[in-house]
Amino acid sequence: MKIRALIWVALILTVSTAYATNVLIKNVLVYDGTGKKPFKADVRIQADRIVAIGKNLSPAAGEPVRDERGWALAPGFIDMHSHHDQGIFDDLNAEVVTRQGVTTVFVGQDGESNFPLNDFFAHLEKTPAAINFASMVGHATMREQVMGKDLYRASTPEELAKMQELLGRELDAGAFGISTGLEYEKGHFATTEELVGLSRVAAARGGFYISHVRDEENGVFNSFDEIIRIGREAKVPVEISHIKLASPGVWHMAKTKMPALFEKAHTEGVDLKADVYPYTYWHSTLRVLVTDRDFFNPEKVRRGIEDNGGAANLMIPKYTPEPAMAGKTLEQIAAAWKVTPVEAYMRMIKATESEIAGGEEQEEVIGTSMSEDDVKWFVTSPRTMFCSDGALHGAHPRGAGAFPRVLGRYVREQHALPLETAVHKMTMMAAEQLALKDRGRIEKGYIADLVVFDPATVIDESTIQHPQAAPKGISDVMVSGERVVMEGNVTGAHPGKVIRHAASR
């Protein structure tokens, strides 16, 4: 009887400490998020906080100890542009996110946010996921609320006033500012004045403006001028989403044009930053090729295809009207249909027209349109943070690989930037952009969002063929002190929080 009782006690203890809320982490190299050189230390976690960092901390009676064999310990990574909220309630483990060491995703991007945010946040608090969520308010989401389906025009002053009021309410729910997707149809027809008018509401609450800019191709530098103007006139910090120079006409210009651009912003008193994903190919809808919606104008379609690297460089991972076409390039599809790429494009737009109205038929495109030297420039710039732009079950490998890809390919293989700098950009720099007071650093009193990885082996494994493949070299991930990944295995713990903007707390 006595032995049986002891077994029960042991069993209960094992279960309650399985994901280790209190733990002493020994033998790690601490990259603390500040960007300074790593140091050897032990780190003590109690409940959801870091309570001690020091050399040779001795375990208290009964305190679980984990020896991390000299691997790196960093704050959990923050994904500054994510679509991992879509379908989250069917995939609360968000394995593609946690396995990368990402503990917080910043959603509500490209002009689209969950509406109303209060409902989304309440749902997340009732049914938490493995990861933390922070959100922007989507510009197109507000346009739809106020303008209905009549979105392909500028707003009237009355509509703008309504959107401003609605934006204020959404910000009060805990959002960090406003996001726009100006290359997408729902946002494209907004004037710069509309964007300034809305950004002022965000500025008044200490928020910021983030944007998938109006043109990422030949007109990209005009788009960057527009975002600086919005920052200047609305007196709001601005961030360029997934920054890229996405057409051959502007390739190789990061090195020559970007320093002057950041300097111009600085001179004008604008806090300009950007986020970037480390891939030379993008993933979107075919509609972005013709930004003014004139989809059946052959000359504009021809130019759109050319500006995006040509039909041979546009891969269609999804085309529901004819699933057999998935995985082929636009050039191959045109050949299969015995038409020109311009005609094939128009046929695909026509067949998926209902998608915009929430219909069944869908298309997606992956474009190989960036140059590696530009990506590398953006990855290393002190003005950028990192993002995946990914989704839980997306066709682009970035959703499961962006962060380990930076650590493995850009830090270790190419020596493009020091590991402590990459970690800083993934953690503290992002936390400061969001004005988070207790995340993004390994510091006494901070929330224990943490990742353990091996700098010598960490690498992304996701590819276009296997976009969800797990990365290598990341062993343990903690969210609020609870292990969501333990020794490379997903635990099923769901300690994720809603992170609200300080002004609304």
Q: Give the footprint of Zn ion on this chain (CB under 5 A).
A: 110, 212
CA distances from 349 to 294, 340, 343 (A): 11, 14, 10
The number of residues in the chain equals 505
Beta strands in 69-109 (DSSP E): 72-75, 77-79, 102-107
For residue 95, count CB atoms less than 10 angstroms from its CB and return exposed for 0-12, middle for 13-18, buried for 19 or more.
middle
Is the CB of 66 or the CB of 212 nearer to Zn ion?
212
Residue 122 sits at the vertex; the CA angle it makes with 117 and 126, to the nearest 5 degrees, is: 150
Closer residue to Zn ion (CB): 384 or 491 = 384
Report the alpha-carbon distance of residue 32 to residue 187 in Å, rounded: 39
Residue 79 or 110 with smaller CB distance to Zn ion: 110
Contact status, residue 27 vs residue 69, Cβ threshold 8 Å? yes
Assign residue 64 a region (left: φ > 0; alpha: ψ between -120 and 50; beta: otherwise): beta
143/497 with CB nearer Zn ion: 143
Strand order in 132-135's β-sheet? 77-79, 102-107, 132-135
- C-beta closer to Zn ion: residue 19 or 184: 184
Which 3 state secondary structure label does DSSP give 68?
A: coil
In the complex, minimum distance from the CB of residue 242 to Zn ion, in angstroms, rounded to a whole number: 6
Taking the least distance from each CB to Zn ion, the nearer of 212 and 501 is: 212
Nearer to Zn ion, 199 or 241 (CB): 241
Looking at the Cβ atoms of 398 and 439, the one nearer to Zn ion is 398
User: In the bound complex, which residue of the shown chain has the CB atom lying closest to Zn ion?
Assistant: 212
| Smallest distance from Zn ion to CB 367, Å | 13
Q: How far is the CB of 99 from Zn ion (least distance, A)?
A: 23
Beta-bridged to residue 79, according to DSSP, are 105
Beta carbon of residue 285, minimum distance to Zn ion (angstroms, whole number): 10
CA-CA distance, 402 to 379, in Å (whole number)?
A: 11
What Cα–Cα distance (Å) separates residue 403 from each residue in 71, 99, 163? Answer: 17, 10, 35
Q: State the minimum distance, in angstroms, from the CB of residue 227 to Zn ion.
A: 14
Instruction: Supply the minimum distance, in Å, between the C-beta of residue 181 and Zn ion.
Output: 6
Neighbour count for residue 151 (Cβ, 10 Å): 18
Q: Closest distance between Zn ion and the C-beta of residue 14, in Å?
A: 45
Provide the minimum distance between the beta carbon of 502 and Zn ion in the complex, in angstroms, as a whole number: 26
